[in-house]
């Protein structure tokens, strides 16, 4: 009992002499921590007779409460003292002019996505979001891309395991939409996609926008009118556009859309086509009754063309001098 009382006196004196919170924490750990001196005393109670254990246990608990109260009070005192010292030493010149607060702006990629979604939303397209981590069925199989297709190799795709991957295209949402909703369908989705490529015009992560429309009597003529109207509005001029035959596993016929640049050269800006009957069938839609159109575009590509940006990587450097140019 004498040792406990003496130890308590020593601890309380050490607490009162501590001049900063850091030293106070060292004292707490030294005596009350898992390996602290007072903690070890408590652990020794198990080996003592019951009568002595009860008396010493009560005494240790009383001492422990005193120490905790003193630690708390000392900490509050030191924190107040530190705050007062700061306020007394801090000088403020109220005659100085105020500091301007910089207002943030939307990233040009996000601005482009909003503008594209607004155009198609006005045509009755509903905006939906897909999953960035997909399985091989929705990303490939449901889009008529067999296992031996080059897009399924590790050179183009980031795989987690045999079945899960980072989606390579926003088209992966098509099958989910067709199985969830009944025609007529008009949907547009945007988001990040991932492919194993990196240079001035490619990055491992980029943004795509995917459009899907499934109705009765939809033809390639509808597709041409929609995309031509969009491109002329987006670039704010009557640009020359051509639809060039191409190949995509999930559309038939397929086309790539080119625009005429200022140097009189054609540049591809998006891909499109009539939804393949196999894709419609996989989505539980009767291809004899309904037809569909689909299109996909790279957001970075369109943004670079619109603002005459030559290096794709600048979009991801977060340079305020670059970003503040866009409103």
* Residues of the binding site for Mg(2+): 252
In whole angstroms, give the CA distance from residue 282 to residue 266: 35
The two tokens of residue 251 are 């559309």
Binding residues: 252
Q: How many CB atoms lie within 10 A of CB 219?
A: 11
The SS3 of residue 272 is strand
Residue 191 DSSP symbol: E
Please name the residues in contact with 15: beta carbons below 8 A apart, sequence gap of 6 or more: 24, 27, 67, 70, 71, 74
CB of 269 closer than 8 Å to CB of 304: no
DSSP-derived secondary structure letter, 171: G
Residues in the chain: 327
Tell which residue, 2, 16, 101, 98, has the closest CA to residue 55. Answer: 2
């Amino acid at each position: 009992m004498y040792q406990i009382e003496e130890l308590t006196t020593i601890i309380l004196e050490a607490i009162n002499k501590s001049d900063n919170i850091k030293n106070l924490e060292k004292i707490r750990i030294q005596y009350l921590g898992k390996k602290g001196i007072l903690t070890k005393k408590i652990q020794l109670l198990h080996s003592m007779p019951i009568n002595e254990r009860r008396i010493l246990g009560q005494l240790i608990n009383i001492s422990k409460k005193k120490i905790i109260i003193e630690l708390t009070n000392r900490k509050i005192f030191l924190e107040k003292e530190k705050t007062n010292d700061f306020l007394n030493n801090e000088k403020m010149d109220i005659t100085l002019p105020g500091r301007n607060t910089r207002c943030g702006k939307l990233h040009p990629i996000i601005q482009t996505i909003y503008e594209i979604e607004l155009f198609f939303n006005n045509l009755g397209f509903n905006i939906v979001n897909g999953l960035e981590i997909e399985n091989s069925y929705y990303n490939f199989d449901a889009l008529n891309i067999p296992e031996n297709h080059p897009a399924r190799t590790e050179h183009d795709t980031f795989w987690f395991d045999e079945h899960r991957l980072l989606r390579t295209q926003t088209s992966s949402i098509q099958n989910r939409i067709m199985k969830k909703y009944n025609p007529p369908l008009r949907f547009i989705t945007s988001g990040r996609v991932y492919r194993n490529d990196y240079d001035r015009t490619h990055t491992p992560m980029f943004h795509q926008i995917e459009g899907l429309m499934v109705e009765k009597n939809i033809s390639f003529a509808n597709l041409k009118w929609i995309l031509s109207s969009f491109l002329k509005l987006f670039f704010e001029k009557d640009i020359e556009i051509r639809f060039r035959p191409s190949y995509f596993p999930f559309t038939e016929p397929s086309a790539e859309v080119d625009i005429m640049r200022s140097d009189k050269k054609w540049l591809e800006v998006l891909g499109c086509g009539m939804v393949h009957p196999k894709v419609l069938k996989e989505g539980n839609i009767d291809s004899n009754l309904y037809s569909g159109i689909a299109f996909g575009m790279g957001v970075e590509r369109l943004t670079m063309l619109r603002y005459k940006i030559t290096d794709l990587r600048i979009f991801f450097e977060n340079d305020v001098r670059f970003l503040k140019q866009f409103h």
